[in-house]
Structure 1
Amino acid sequence: MSLHALANKYRYFVRNAEPDKVVLECSGVNCQWRVYATKIKGCPRFEIKTLDSNHCCTVSERGEFRRHATSSIVGGMMRSKYVGTGSGPRLGALREMMRTDHSVPISYWTAWKSWEIAIENGRGNAEAAYSTLPSYLQQLAVANPGTLVALETSKGPGSVQCFKYLFLSFGASQKGFDFMRKVVIIDGTHLKGKFAGCLLTASAQDGNYQIFPIAFGIVDSENDQSWTWFFNKLLVVVPDSAKLVFVSDRHTAIYSGIRRVYPMAKHCACLLHLQRNVQTIFKEKHLGYLLGRAARAYKVEDFYLHFNELKVVDGACADYLIRVGLEHWARSDFDGARYNIMTSNLAESLNAALSEAREYPIVPFLEYIRSMTMGWFS
């Protein structure tokens, strides 16, 4: 009835409401519009018994029809736009649609609540998605042979099992990694849904310099326990080796996890993150350029040519970079093969590709990852 009132621009009120019947009347003073409906036995639906559909209310009285545009009604109207893995309209676009299509201006707060309701109606309840997660992972593993899934729970209130960690690596990713250069880019990014958390990713670069996803993890936050758990699961997919190289930002939990789980592998820092740190700490604009020249040099003599120039500009910055460890950021001092991969930009691009889905409930989010990865591999 609210949708009908919005479409035909009138306002009604509930004259009488009981479990088995309802009476609605137009809010116009002398308007005769009236609906009488009763509940059908054995069915949740109502049947209209009496309807006087003629309106004789004034234009000013009809102008109150906008009050029917509550968040629950608008969310129900927009539900179909959020079904599946596609992205629905954002808040600004949602407000514009209501204004142009329905002549109803809504506030930002109403749009926000409507957006939450539309997502929940279209993609499922965020809390309920966790209860369907085990069956979804089981079906995923059956449909994709060789896929590795791991789900860890913890005891919550009343001994209820609560979600803690998730690991996912598709069988196709594991087979393909055998033919990749053994440089793994790892990164973590925040999820934007109701229960937040972090997405951990491990990826490589294929022969066309494109992103090759290896594994995904969902954890509470980037800490020592979560990263160590993720690396222990990744060890099954990516064995430890002296020829293996990890590239990441300088997060202490990542450093700690790699030392524990991958003692033979080499680890180097993302040059871009290091340049940003230097820029933030030492302020000099030219330092980032000199750092990049020194880091990318292949020969030791070329490295010191640029590094000494940086040292002349800011000796404190040079001391900072030495404390970081030349073997972590300078290609000439790195004891391993990192090839052309000097940054973790590849992982940042993967995070960007998943940006819109990071607010989905967990099962639609995993389905988005599966669909996207399948499309890329295809």
Structure 2
Amino acid sequence: MLGDHDIRISYWKAWRSREVALDYAKGSCATSYKLLPDYLQRLVRANPGTLAEIHTIYDAGVGHRFKYMFLALGASIDGFSHMRNVIIIDGAHLRGKYAGCLLTASAQDGNYQVFPIAVGIVDGENDNAWEWFLKMLLQFITNEDNVVFISDRHSSIYKAISKVYPAAKHCACILHLKRNIQTYFKNKHLGYLVGKAARAFQLSEFYTTFNEIKNINPSCAEYLLDIGLEHWARAHCSGNRYNLMTSNVAETWNSVLRNAREYPILHLVEYIRSKLMKWYAERRDVTQHPNRMLTPRVTSIVEENFEISGGMLVCQINTGEFDVKDKDRISYHVNLHTKSCSCFSFQTLLIPCPHAIAAAIKEKSSIKSLVSNFYTMDTLVAAYAGNILPISSEVNPSIEGT
């Protein structure tokens, strides 16, 4: 105000003016909560298969009061069936008048893009809120041992998963773990080694790095053992977290919603719906990638592995089986029939490693056929096949321009 209009006002007056402007543009927060049930009902009617739930509590002095909200659009539920069973869950603070927390569940599509599955709005990241959110997810993501959750190791998430998804695997975000290590033990190199050990595909590679951690700081090694190796080390995980070693997928989604997290609840939900509608339309459009079998991101990974495979020595063992020696003359056993390699990268990522590519070239097999269907353009299009429709403008005209 001082720079643009040469008027001095207090910080408090500037803040209140901003709040009034937001209320004028988006409506009041209190009114937004009142309109939410009707909005969600109409959203479900416009988008068949959508799960929308509001949980209230009774307050003797007020009546029924909002507690939790959950939303999973029908197109997202259908699309998740074309994803790998790795769900990244996270919470982010809301900055509106009534505060609260936005809980998200996301996956990663075959082009390594964020695929939002569901959102929840709760009073905070606590045991009850996370348990309620996961119970809502349980309606379409079953409790099976091939399901993997990745989180920032919030204690309430651990408790909720143990109750609601006891058969699923729970893995830690490596970035959060590294930050904790560097904070507690005041050693950046330890953080680097933890990341290296966590990403190792082979047990031998893991223990080489872990022993180095143990030699530098035995207390750090003990701390990591107490967490449970299966929670943070890929080589020890009994499930498959593929390339997903961090919760960056969820944090990217939270970043997209950063400004919207200060909107009244109704406009926040509508912003999410509108954003997903645009993403689905853009991502199902394959005309931008004509005649491409694999997704762009995975194509680049395969091309990079192809370059690395040059100069490897390949000897056939049996039909489809090969002994492949890299440039350091380290030997790897590749089986093209089972799509596996003794480096463990091939069967973990479901993308042929350089050793597998060298073997495929020797056998004159198609390299692309070794890539999992998760990473094909057909699967990507199928994941975004569903339409996300707006509610009709007659419902609430103030929402239409969001």
Q: Which residue number in structure 2 is paired with residue 236 of structure 1?
A: 139
Q: Which residue number in structure 2 is paired with residue 274 of structure 1?
A: 177
Q: Which residue number in structure 2 is paired with residue 182 of structure 1?
A: 85
Deviation at 1:276, TM superposition (A): 0.7
Q: Which residue number in structure 1 is paired with residue 381 of structure 2?
A: none
Q: Return the alpha-carbon distance in structure 2 between the equivalents of residues 367 and 133 of structure 1.
A: 10
Q: Return the alpha-carbon distance in structure 2 between the equivalents of residues 369 and 245 of structure 1.
A: 25
Q: Structure 1 counterpart of 2:150, which letter?
A: V
Deviation string 1:8-52 (CA, Å, 9 cap, x unpaired) is xxxxxxxxxxxxxxxxxxxxxxxxxxxxxxxxxxxxxxxxxxxxx
In the TM superposition, what are the counterparts of 1:91-130 in structure 2 within 5 Å? 95=1, 99-100=3-4, 102-130=5-33
In the TM superposition, what are the counterparts of 1:1-378 in structure 2 within 5 Å? 95=1, 99-100=3-4, 102-158=5-61, 160-378=63-281
Q: Structure 1 counterpart of 2:148, which letter?
A: V
Deviation string 1:302-334 (CA, Å, 9 cap, x unpaired) is 101011111111111001000010010011111
Q: Return the alpha-carbon distance in structure 1 between the equivalents of residues 219 and 6 of structure 2.
A: 62
Q: Return the alpha-carbon distance in structure 2 between the equivalents of residues 157 and 336 of structure 1.
A: 47
| Structure 1 alignment gaps of length 5 or more | 1-94
Tell me whether 237-246 or 161-170 shows the greater mean CA deviation: 237-246
Q: Return the alpha-carbon distance in structure 1 between the equivalents of residues 62 and 99 of structure 2.
A: 23
TM-score, length-normalised on structure 2? 0.68
Deviation at 1:103, TM superposition (A): 4.4
TM-score, length-normalised on structure 1? 0.73
Q: Structure 2 counterpart of 1:349, which letter?
A: T
Deviation string 1:275-304 (CA, Å, 9 cap, x unpaired) is 011111000111011111111111111101
SS of the aligned residue for 1:186 comes to: strand
Deviation at 1:158, TM superposition (A): 2.9
Deviation at 1:371, TM superposition (A): 0.6
Deviation at 1:121, TM superposition (A): 1.1
Q: Which has the larger radius of gyration?
A: 1
Q: Return the alpha-carbon distance in structure 1 between the equivalents of residues 62 and 121 of structure 2.
A: 22
Q: Structure 1 counterpart of 2:158, which letter?
A: Y
Q: Percent identity?
A: 56
Q: Which has the higher contact order (CA 8 A, sep 6+)?
A: 2
| Structure 2 alignment gaps of length 5 or more | 282-402
SS of the aligned residue for 1:168 comes to: strand
Q: Which residue number in structure 2 is paired with residue 75 of structure 1?
A: none
Deviation at 1:129, TM superposition (A): 1.1
Deviation at 1:157, TM superposition (A): 3.8
Q: Return the alpha-carbon distance in structure 2 between the equivalents of residues 233 and 161 of structure 1.
A: 21
Deviation at 1:107, TM superposition (A): 3.4
SS of the aligned residue for 1:255 comes to: helix
Q: Return the alpha-carbon distance in structure 2 between the equivalents of residues 364 and 115 of structure 1.
A: 17
Q: Return the alpha-carbon distance in structure 2 between the equivalents of residues 241 and 375 of structure 1.
A: 32
SS of the aligned residue for 2:83 comes to: coil
Q: Structure 1 counterpart of 2:196, which letter?
A: R
Deviation at 1:159, TM superposition (A): 5.1
Q: Return the alpha-carbon distance in structure 1 between the equivalents of residues 195 and 259 of structure 2.
A: 32
Deviation string 1:319-363 (CA, Å, 9 cap, x unpaired) is 100001001001111101100000001101111110101111110
SS of the aligned residue for 2:106 comes to: strand
SS of the aligned residue for 1:158 comes to: coil
Deviation at 1:156, TM superposition (A): 1.9
Q: Please, what is the CA RMSD of the aligned residues?
A: 1.1
SS of the aligned residue for 2:120 comes to: strand
Q: Return the alpha-carbon distance in structure 2 between the equivalents of residues 108 and 165 of structure 1.
A: 33
Q: Structure 2 counterpart of 1:366, which letter?
A: V
